[in-house]
Structure 1
Amino acid sequence: MSRHQRDALDAMLRSAPRSETPPTVEEQRSGFAAAVARPAPEGVATRRTVLGGRPTLELEPAEAHGRGRLLYLHGGGYVIGSPDTHAGLVGELARRAGLRTMSVDYRLAPEHPFPAAVDDGLAAYRELLAAGTDPRDLVVAGDSAGGGLSIATLLAAREAGLPQPAAVVLFSPWVDLTLAGDSIRSKDGADPIFTEADVRAYADLYVGAGDRAHPLASPLFADLTGLPPLLVQVGANEVLLDDAVRLAGRAAADDVDVTLDVSPGLPHVFQHHYGRLDEADAALDRAARFLTTHLTAAPLEPTH
């Protein structure tokens, strides 16, 4: 892997201008879209549809195989981001895994605070099952806040008596809105994107005066028993590093099959930089392999 690529990415991220006054939510949304958005890769067809009552971007690779389906929940602190900002990243994961994918435009804060996003994630998951998708043919993935939302969605599904999917992949998940992880402070400066204040501002907009330790807002504090096999990928240069590490530990304590994949010297959701960062491509390949392996491994008949 290229040290030069990592250094160039770090320098590029640190060069982004920071305003003297806090940007408005609309400014944050447009700035994020300008900085992150990449089109779906060649060979991945897109179309707009609706899932669980929310606008959804469907991404279908030309090489899609079998009945497997991927439900994706994008990141952005529950405040910014959309299926369009994540079309490149999600399309790359879909292409590498050969999976037809649904990327949901769940409602954002502050217009729609917690638990609106969880309600939308659950509605999308429920509709996929109701439409006849076998849970053994279904996998879930998400990044950052979308990673936390992926776990919250499956916890809500468990409470509703719905079956779990075959596997889950999380990129740099945000799962502790109380910001209790040591890395929130110890990685300040190493992280080229976020400070503690940045992350706290998103929590303020999403939860407000509510309970930030609620298991559906901060799945780190949930009982994860019964969740499917889980792959957690994170960069070592993240203030959210400990969210990923502690989530993996909690999952293991609750007897969940979990793999923690930490990449040194890399920032938050470094997978966005596929095609220009070798580690991003390798991580997406590992994520795709994890998903397809668990789809392939799902038993054809219920065990007794």
Structure 2
Amino acid sequence: MSKEQRAAVDAMLRQPRPAEPQSVEEIRAGFRAIMAEMIVPDGIRTTAVTLGDRPALLVEPVANPRTGTILYFHGGSFVFGSPETALSLTGSLVARTGFRALSLDYRLAPEHPFPAAIDDALRAYRALLDSGEDPSTVVFAGDSAGGGLTVTTCLAAREAGLPLPAAILAFSAGLDATRTGASMDTKAGIDPIFTREELEHTKDLYLAGRDPRHHLISPAVLADLTGFPPMLLQAGANEVLLDDSTRLAVRARDAGVDVILDITADVPHVFQSFTGVLDEADEALDRAALFLAQHVRTGA
């Protein structure tokens, strides 16, 4: 275990923050600056494309491509983030699997509150299917809010009568806007990134007055997961959102869904972003890539 690496990452994430509340644009700029420091693997290429009616980033392996598409949803509390800020994650999955990734630039709150992100994600998936993509070669993957989108988009696809993807991969998924998980309190102060107050602020921007008790907002406590594809839920033991994943795993199990709950000790929210810095990040990405390879039907 990389005790020193984990301590260094934790200390970095606890750097002093601005005393005054930041504007949405300041939050977005700060997140871009942080994520620009993350390591993006070699051996990939990126192309700006359109998927559905939204911009997306196509991430492909330079050599030895395999049949398979990762439809990726970036994190950022539905308020900030982009395909570029998630490139260390999408690039790592592409480099490890040989699959291509399409990382969606879905609309953000407060300009576009719930359900805009889900609508965009569903249109992107429908566009993939309409282009001839076999759902058995498509997986949904995402981190944080995007991890939540892997689940809610699958729910929306099922409600729309679409075939479901081959698998779901979620890193530190945000799955409960009611904030009723015990980890919201037990991990307070241990989590170096989030406080309840910060999460409430971005939640209010996303919901714009909507009741959080909705299955497309809080699937960890309200969704029926019957018929879902296999799921891998990865989370860090130090995050206040930990019980979003643990409770969704229970719901999946009770619905007869194949589910792997993969919790890594003493690491923060979306620790997989620290690939090349934190041994646990690379090990988790290796497990994620293996899971995807096991569930994508590929002939190459």
Same structural fold, with TM-score higher than 0.5 when normalized by the shorter chain: yes
User: Percent of aligned pairs with the same residue?
Assistant: 56
1:243 aligns to 2:235 (yes or no): no
Matches within 5 A, 1:213-252: 213-220=213-220, 221-252=222-253
Alpha carbons 2:88, 2:275 under 8 Å: kept: no
Aligned to 1:287: 288
2:247 is the counterpart of 1:253: no
Q: What secondary structure, in the 3-state scheme, does the structure 2 residue paired with 1:213 have?
A: coil
Which residue number corresponds to residue 114 of structure 2? 114
Could you say if the C-alpha distance between residues 100 and 202 of structure 1 is closer, same or farther in structure 2, counting changes exceeding 3 Å?
same
Q: Is the contact between residue 60 and residue 100 of structure 2 (CA under 8 Å) also seen in structure 1?
A: yes
The alignment yields a C-alpha RMSD, in angstroms, of: 1.2
1:153-191 superposed Cα distances (whole Å, 9 cap, x missing partner): 111000111001111100000000010111111100100
Post-superposition shift, 1:40?
4.0
TM-score, normalization by structure 1: 0.95
Q: Where does residue 278 of structure 1 map in the other structure?
A: 279
Partner Cα separation in structure 2 for residue 156 and residue 189 of structure 1: 35
In the alignment, the residues of structure 2 paired with residue 187 and residue 231 of structure 1 have an alpha-carbon distance, to the nearest angstrom, of 22
After superposition, the Cα gap between the structure-2 partners of 1:64 and 1:164, relative to the gap in structure 1 and judged at 3 Å, is farther
After TM superposition, the score normalised by the length of structure 2 is: 0.97
CA distance in 2, matches of 1:62, 1:291: 19
Q: Does the 8 Å CA contact 1:184/1:239 hold for their aligned counterparts?
A: yes
Cα distance in 2, alignment partners of residues 65 and 239 from structure 1? 37
- The alpha-carbon deviation at position 65 of structure 1 amounts to 3.1
**1:29-68 alignment runs, 5 A limit:** 29-37=28-36, 38=38, 40-68=40-68
- Alignment match, 2:20: 21
Q: How does 1:133-152 map to 2 (within 5 A)?
A: 133-152=133-152
| Amino acid aligned to 1:164 | L
Query: Which runs of no fewer than 5 residues in structure 2 stay unpaired?
Result: none
Report what 2:210 is aligned to: 210
Contact 1:71–1:139 (CA under 8 A) maintained in structure 2: yes
SS at match of 2:70: strand
Deviates more, 1:219-228 or 1:169-178: 219-228
Matches of 2:18 and 2:134, distance apart in 1: 48
Q: Distance in 2 between matches of 1:89 and 1:147?
A: 12
- Distance across 1 between alignment mates of 2:129 and 2:97: 21
**Which range moved further: 35-44 or 236-245?**
35-44
Contact 1:248 1:259 (C-alpha < 8 Å) held by counterparts: yes
Could you list the per-position Cα deviations for residues 111-161 of structure 1 after superposition, in whole angstroms to 9, with x for gaps in the alignment?
000000000000000000110000011111000000111111111000111
> Aligned partner of 1:90: which letter?
T
For residues 64 and 106 of structure 1, the distance between their equivalents in structure 2, rounded to whole angstroms, comes to: 29
- Cα separation, 2, equivalents of 1:287 and 1:250: 21
List 4+ stretches of structure 1 deviating above 6 A. none
2:232 is paired with a residue of what secondary structure?
Answer: strand
CA distance in 1, matches of 2:238, 2:39: 26
Q: How far apart are the structure 2 equivalents of 1:63 and 1:223?
A: 40
Q: Which moved more, 1:259-268 or 1:211-220?
A: 211-220
